[in-house]
Amino acid sequence: MALQPLELKDIDKHAENIYEAIVVLSKRARQINEEMKIRLNQELEMFATRVDSEEEIETNPEQMRISIEFEKLSKPTQQAIGDLLDDKLSYHYKDE
């Protein structure tokens, strides 16, 4: 799934400046990516891969189904942008 073009003025409405918004979006995308990795690994742990010989690895159809489902999910960057535009994302500065 390719990323859709986005007007920067749409992002600018939800942040004080565009650079701040990009930093927030990148951090949120990293969080989403990490959550997705953890969830995928937890689901795939249930299925142990059997090795019949040194060269041949048997794949489980259920593992393939789970992997394909995860590939079809929207990208973390797109999810982070959606969160910001839907006002589901909030951020604040650390007190010095």
Give residue limits of the domains in the chain.
8-85
Let me know: does 3 contact 77? Beta carbons within 8 Å: yes
87: left (phi over 0), alpha (psi -120 to 50) or beta: left
Q: Is the pLDDT of residue 56 over 70?
A: no
Q: Mean pLDDT for the chain?
A: 84
Per-residue pLDDT band at 2 (split at 50, 70, 90): low
The answer, yes or no, to whether residue 54 has pLDDT greater than 80, is no
Q: How confident is the model at residue 81 (pLDDT cuts 50, 70, 90)?
A: very high
How sure is the predictor about 84, in pLDDT bands with cuts at 50, 70 and 90? very high
Q: What's the whole-model pTM score?
A: 0.76
Angle at 64 between CA 35 and CA 38, to 5 degrees: 15
Those residues with Cβ within 8 angstroms of residue 66's Cβ, 6 or more apart along the chain or in another chain: 40, 43, 44
User: Percent of the chain scored above 70 by pLDDT?
Assistant: 83
User: Has residue 43 got a pLDDT over 70?
Assistant: yes
